[in-house]
Amino acid sequence: MNLLVTGGAGFIGSNFIHYILREHPEVSLVNVDALTYCGNLENLSGVEKDPRYRFVKADIADAGTMAEVFAGASFDAVLNFAAETHVDRSITGPSVFLRTNVAGTQILLDLALKYGVPRFVQVSTDEVYGSLPETGAFTETTPLAPNSPYSASKASADLLVRAYVHTYGMDAVVTRCSNNYGPWQFPEKLIPLMITNALEDKPLPVYGDGLNVRDWLHVEDHCRAVWLALEKGVKGEVYNVGGANEWHNLALVKELLAILGKPESLITFVKDRPGHDRRYAIDASRIRRELGWRPTYDFASGLRQTVQWYIENETWWRRVKSGEYQKYYQTQYGL
């Protein structure tokens, strides 16, 4: 099986590539990534020597270059991980989110259609459903109600996928996962930001009252769900993915500090994110029932392993946190 994986130098894409090359010897793949600020080939070290792997630096929103990638490649499936993914950056600069997440997806859909690629998997997010009150969970029939430019762009891409299935008969599925954690996550996201700041004894910036809720899943469990959706998902369907593992942000940050043996005095409450979604929770019963998916990581040990990974990979995150990151951090937090 020959796959086109986009965004494979990012957090989830790189974990997916490690996972697939390790677990599925029948798979070869081309990784297309534009290497934006969060795309990092160091996430794939070791993989580049595998004859089943090829990297192409390209922008999914560049139709001409992407046509060259598709021509003669004979892909069996496209898995679209490539995206601008950080909500805070979408609030200060939405344009690139529309370009990559919407136009980029449309270009991939067009090319998949033109070159007769038999399967398309769109890696989406639970954020397309908006925010929940204190109870309940998102199902696949929850109406789309995105609240940030990021989630609006992801919802737009999902609707394009739906339209290509309906109009052109394209064989595509969408996965919508909750918050991921694990190795190689860019340290602008909550968990790696808090771990690395704590390791540096820097303030941990918690938005608002810290009582927003997120539903955390280990990235490898997400990767297995994407693979199952590719293999067994029904054309045109959506699959929610989540581990039924809700945490208040503040409780999670305290847990990380306890694992690291650092004081809670590092916690600093900062101005809230505009339009901050209060709570996400995923009902993943469909993918469990229909595709046989189960999360394998227990959160307590997954979180400890992740903390340990950041302790052992200090060179990686120190390099990532230099340069452009410093400017971003100053503007975002002023800390």
**Which residues, including other chains, have CB under 8 Å from residue 244's CB and lie 6 or more apart?**
215, 281, 282, 284
* Residues 4 and 79: beta-carbon distance below 8 Å: yes
Alpha-carbon distance of 29 to 31, in angstroms, equals 6
Size (the chain), residues: 335
* Residues 253 and 267: beta-carbon distance below 8 Å: yes
Q: For the CB of residue 169, give the shortest distance to ligand NAD in the complex, in Å.
A: 24
**Which residues, including other chains, have CB under 8 Å from residue 298's CB and lie 6 or more apart?**
none
CB-wise, 117 or 267, nearer to ligand DAU? 267
Member of 5, 30, 47, 60 binding ligand NAD (CB under 6 A): 60
**Which residues, including other chains, have CB under 8 Å from residue 126's CB and lie 6 or more apart?**
138, 176, 177, 178, 215, 240, 242, 280, 282
* Residues 190 and 252: beta-carbon distance below 8 Å: yes
Alpha-carbon distance of 83 to 9, in angstroms, equals 11
Q: For the CB of residue 130, give the shortest distance to ligand DAU in the complex, in Å.
A: 11
Count of Cβ atoms closer than 10 Å to residue 140 Cβ: 16
| Contact set with ligand DAU (CB under 6 A) | 85-87, 125-127, 178-179, 189-190, 193, 205-207, 212, 214, 249, 273, 280
Our finding on whether 61 is near ligand NAD (CB under 6 A) is yes
Residues in 189-228 that interact with ligand NAD by CB under 6 A: none
Active site residue 150: yes
In this structure, which amino acid lies at residue 98? L
Active site residue 50: no
Query: Per-residue x/- marks for ligand NAD, 90-129, CB under 6 A?
Result: ----------x---x------------------x-x----
CB-wise, 269 or 325, nearer to ligand NAD? 325
Out of ligand DAU, ligand NAD, none, what residue 249 binds, judged by CB under 5 to 8 A for its kind, is ligand DAU
CB-wise, 164 or 186, nearer to ligand NAD? 186
Our finding on whether 240 is near ligand NAD (CB under 6 A) is no
Pick the catalytic residue: 33, 88, 126, 277?
A: 126
Active site residue 126: yes
Phi, psi values for residue 43, rounded to 5° = -65, -15
Q: How many residues bind ligand NAD (CB under 6 A)?
A: 31
Distances (CA, A) of 259 to 119, 217, 269: 42, 18, 21
Our finding on whether 245 is near ligand NAD (CB under 6 A) is no
Out of ligand DAU, ligand NAD, none, what residue 186 binds, judged by CB under 5 to 8 A for its kind, is ligand NAD
Out of ligand NAD, ligand DAU, none, what residue 82 binds, judged by CB under 5 to 8 A for its kind, is ligand NAD
In this structure, which amino acid lies at residue 19? Y
Out of ligand DAU, ligand NAD, none, what residue 267 binds, judged by CB under 5 to 8 A for its kind, is none
Residue numbers of the site for ligand NAD (CB under 6 A)? 6-7, 9-13, 32-36, 38-39, 59-61, 81-85, 100, 104, 123, 125, 154, 177, 179-180, 186
